[in-house]
Amino acid sequence: MTSRTRARRLAATVALTLTTGLLAGTGISGASAAPAKVEPSTWPTLAAALQPVIDDAERRGVEMGLFVADLDGAFGGARLHLGEQGRFTTASTIKLSLAATVMHQVESGTLSLEDVVTLQPADLVGGSGVLKNNPFPQDVTVGRMLDLMITVSDNTATNKLVDVVGGHGPINALSQDAGIAKEDLHFGRKMFGAIVLPDGDIWATPAGFEQLLDLFYATAEGSPNAGFLSVASAEHILALMQRQQVKTKLGTAVPPGVVAHKTGENDTVSHDLGYFLIPGRDLAIGVFTRNERGYASAAWAAIAEPYVQKVAALVYAEQLRGATPMRSTTKLTLSKKRQVKGKKPVTAKVTVRAAVGTPTGKVLVRVGGKKVALVTLKAGVAAVRLPKRLAVGNQRIAVSYQATNRFAYAASSATAALKVTKR
């Protein structure tokens, strides 16, 4: 399947998808696998842009590690690893390996997304999520718990799904059978669960998550790893990642629909990893940070998140370098086609769409060639009230869209006719 076809199928999957820690810092036990080699020469232009961000973060007590992988060959299949490449505690990013296990068991017939599970008061878990706010006991399907675990990082859903799949053993067995070493990816306890040495913890290296993202992507592209997931299951997980609601890091730099990702943060780390999906130029990305200076919770988020945002913006700019802007289409709808001068004004609704992602930027509104408004799109839509006292006669309403980043989406325009009368 081509990346453009897959992107369209993902968009359809998103529409049909069910609408329904106390974490360790650096004290992770066990021998570590050899970390990925830091080699800027594999992608020199990107490395030159990113290394100053890593250096600046280090000066402020933020240890960073990252990977970027060219998945479509637009950059010669380059893979870049910079900064710390050893183990990080994962926070909620580890939930991706549990998601894979849920879908694997759905494929085998062990589970169904329609299976109903009853949550008891003892199942309530603090931190992120929405299930904790509902009355207990409550019935919820496996599919809804999977959805909430990825899109809003629901901890109650996560811990219950660990029970549903049979504990940590099947989660780790699936990733290890797919070729990811235990030292690079390990799910050894629940969210906010006690750390029990040597293996009762959660950890990953950038390389471990890079392998997991490679597996999801290759499978969704039609080249599944035997015994891992089907194409449909991988696409389901990527679609959930596209619906991620936490937009404090990668999601701030990339338009909705283009980024598919999973975040994870606590008082010691702040991570985000996933994909930037532009047909023919798809990338995998993971950015990992560790609190080396003991910042308190709110201060840590304020320090760490901007560094992840900077990396995302630089990688997205590199991804768009030399790319042909994606075609956009602009639609103009008037609330009515006839207006009495001086009476209730007409509202012009502007909708901008593209085959992939949601265009961002501004729309210029003109009446009879004269500028009357410049508005910012929100979720691809903008609404403008036209002046009440337009000249009597036939007026041409014209709108033109300009992308925030002109290398992402091409400009487009639309017109409509409005008849203004005296009465």
| Most confident residue range from 23-37, 266-280, 318-332 | 266-280
Tokens for 70, please give them. Answer: 């060219």
Tell me what pLDDT residue 5 has. 45
Q: Out of 8-22, 53-67, 122-136, 289-303, which region has the weakest mean confidence (pLDDT)?
A: 8-22
Using DSSP's 3-state secondary structure scheme, residue 320 falls into helix
Tell me what pLDDT residue 326 has. 84
Q: Give the angle 194-195-200 at the CA atoms, nearest 5°.
A: 115
Mark residue 45 as left, alpha or beta (left: phi above 0; alpha: psi -120 to 50; beta: remaining): alpha
Tell me what pLDDT residue 279 has. 85
CA-CA distance, 89 to 201, in Å (whole number)?
A: 8
Say whether pTM exceeds 0.85: no
Tell me what pLDDT residue 406 has. 59
Tell me what pLDDT residue 70 has. 97
Q: Is the pLDDT of residue 125 over 70?
A: yes
Q: Out of 7-11, 308-312, 347-351, 373-377, which region has the weakest mean confidence (pLDDT)?
A: 7-11
Tens digits of per-residue pLDDT, 378-405? 999 999 999 999 999 999 999 999 987 6
Mean pLDDT of 358-370: 93
How many Å from the N-terminal Cα to the C-terminal Cα in the chain? 58
Tell me what pLDDT residue 220 has. 96
Which residues are paired to 375 by β-bridges? 363
Virtual torsion, Cα 349, 354, 356, 357, nearest 10 deg:
-30
CA-CA distance, 413 to 141, in Å (whole number)?
A: 44
Instruction: Calculate helix-pair angle for 155-165, 142-151, nearest 10 degrees.
Output: 130
Q: Is the pLDDT of residue 241 over 90?
A: yes
Mean pLDDT of 274-298: 95
Tens digits of per-residue pLDDT, 177-215? 999 999 999 999 999 999 998 999 999 999 999 999 999
Instruction: Calculate helix-pair angle for 95-108, 206-220, nearest 10 degrees.
Output: 40
Which residues are paired to 33 by β-bridges? none
Mean pLDDT of 61-90: 97
Q: Are 173 and 137 in contact (CB under 8 A)?
A: no
Using DSSP's 3-state secondary structure scheme, residue 38 falls into coil
CA-CA distance, 263 to 270, in Å (whole number)?
A: 8
Tell me what pLDDT residue 7 has. 43
- Sheet with 62-70, strands from edge to edge, namely 79-83, 62-70, 283-291, 270-276, 259-265
Instruction: Calculate helix-pair angle for 231-242, 206-220, nearest 10 degrees.
Output: 120
Tell me what pLDDT residue 235 has. 97
Q: Delimit the CATH 3.40.710.10 region(s) of the chain.
A: 3-320
Q: Return the percentage of the chain with pLDDT > 90, whole number.
A: 82
Tens digits of per-residue pLDDT, 143-187? 999 999 999 999 999 999 999 999 999 999 999 999 999 999 999
Classify domain 328-421 by CATH number: 2.60.40.1930
Mean pLDDT of 68-75: 95
Taking the CA atoms of 137, 265, 311 and 220 in sequence, report the sign of the dihedral they define.
negative
DSSP state string for 134-184: S-SSEEEEHHHHHHHHHHS--HHHHHHHHHHHTSHHHHHHHHHHTT--TTT
CA-CA distance, 355 to 157, in Å (whole number)?
A: 33
Phi, psi (rounded to 5 degrees) for 284: -105, 145
Tokens for 68, please give them. Answer: 């970027």
Q: How confident is the model at residue 37 (pLDDT cuts 50, 70, 90)?
A: confident
Tell me which fold the domain 3-320 belongs to.
Answer: Beta-lactamase (3.40.710)
Tell me what pLDDT residue 123 has. 97
Mean pLDDT of 94-120: 98
Q: Delimit the CATH 2.60.40.1930 region(s) of the chain.
A: 328-421
Average pLDDT over the chain, rounded to whole?
91
Q: Out of 160-169, 228-237, 313-322, which region has the weakest mean confidence (pLDDT)?
A: 313-322
Q: How confident is the model at residue 33 (pLDDT cuts 50, 70, 90)?
A: low
Using DSSP's 3-state secondary structure scheme, residue 297 falls into helix
DSSP state string for 208-245: HHHHHHHHHHHHHTT-PPTTS--HHHHHHHHHHHHT--
Q: How confident is the model at residue 409 (pLDDT cuts 50, 70, 90)?
A: confident
Mean pLDDT of 408-419: 93
CA-CA distance, 137 to 150, in Å (whole number)?
A: 22
Tell me what pLDDT residue 20 has. 31
Tell me what pLDDT residue 355 has. 85
Tell me what pLDDT residue 16 has. 34
Q: Are 134 and 152 in contact (CB under 8 A)?
A: no
Using DSSP's 3-state secondary structure scheme, residue 301 falls into helix
